[in-house]
Structure 1
Amino acid sequence: MADTPNGNAAGGPGETVAQGENPQQFAIQKVYLKDCSVETPGAPDVFTQAWKPEARVELNTRRTTLGEGLHEVVLTVTVTATAEEKPSYLCEVHQAGIFTVNGFEDNATDQLLGAYCPGVLFPYAREAISDLTGKAGFPPMTLSPVNFDALYARQRQQDAAGASESEAGAETTNQGSDSTG
C-alpha cells in the first residue's frame, strides 16, 4: 500500500487501492429518522388502570438503490401495546440509512443490505421507540436485541420455498393446460 499525503496507508474504507482494481467498499453515509408516529387511542382511560400490557413488535425492511453502489435501507419497527384487549398505544418508527456498497458479489451485497444494514439501524430505532413511548406517558419500551442475520436467513429460505412451490404450481398448471389443449 502507498502512503497518502496525510500519512495513512491507502486502501481504507472509501479509498481506491490501485487503479483498475475493484476494491470492496462499505460505508455508512447517513443515518436518519425518516418517519415516526405514536398513537394513544386508549388515552386518558389507559392511564387510570393498572399497567399490564401485551406488546407485539413487527419488523420490516425495505431497500432502494439510489445510484451506483448507493443504497437506502429503511427499517420499520411497529410496536402495538394492548391492555385488557384494548389498544393502549401504537408506535411506529421508520429508521433509515444511506449506505455505499461496492465491489462485493451479489450474494454478499444482498447479505449486507438485508441483514447487516438493518442491524446498524436497529439501535437508533430502539432508542426512538423508547423515547416516543416515554413521551407518550408510558413506561419507555425497551426492545430486545434482534439477530438480523437469522431473520435474513429465514427470509431467504422462505423465498426459496415459495419459488419452489411457484415452479411446481406452474408445472402443474402447464400440465393441465397441455392436457386440455
Structure 2
Amino acid sequence: MYFAALLARTEDGWEASDMELDDVESLSDLIDLARSAAVDDDTVVALIEQEDAWFGVIRVDGEEDPRYFVSNASVADRSSYGAMLTKELLGTDEEDDDLDELDLDGTEDGDDEPVAAYTDEDDGADDEPRAGSEPLPAGPLGDPRLLDDLGVGHKELLTLDGDALTEIADALGATDVLEAVR
C-alpha cells in the first residue's frame, strides 16, 4: 500500500493534497501532477512511501529539472513507483516487461494481492538479470540535499526511517496539513 501527498509552498505556508496515484502511469505524469499543484511556480514536494519499507521525495521548483531522493533503492526498485524513481536516478530508460503486466500498485490487472518480485526463499538461480542492470544500492539514492534549504538537512534525510514523511513534514512546518490528507 502506498501513501502519497503533495506539499505546495505558498505565501502562507504549505498546502497539502492527497496525490491520486491511479492516473500516474509514468514519472512524467507524477511530475506533471506536482507542477499542477504549484502556487505561482513555487516549490512542490511530492512525498511517497510504501508501508514504511521505503520513501521517496521529489522536489519540483517551477520549470527547473525535478530533483529526486529514494531512501532505499534496492527495496524501492521492487515496487512500481519506486522503480520509476530508481530508473530515473540511474538514467535507465529501459522498459521493464514485468511492469507491462502489473498495475502500478504492484498487482496484476484485476488481482487484489501484490505480485512478489523476489522473496527470501527465492535463491535467484533461475532468474536472469535484466539486460544492462546493475545491482542497486541497499540504501539511499539520489540528491540528499534536495530539502536542505527547507529545513531537512541531508544528514537527517539520510537517517530517516519508519514514519519518515511525518518527520519531513514536521521539519517543513507542514505536519498539520499532511495529517489532514492522511
TM-score tier by shorter-chain length is: under 0.3
Larger radius of gyration: 1
Higher RCO (CA-CA < 8 Å; seq separation 6+)? 2
More helix by share: 1
> If each structure's strand is expressed as a fraction of its own residues, which one has the higher value?
1
Normalising by structure 2, what TM-score?
A: 0.22
If the length of structure 1 is used for normalisation, what is the TM-score? 0.22
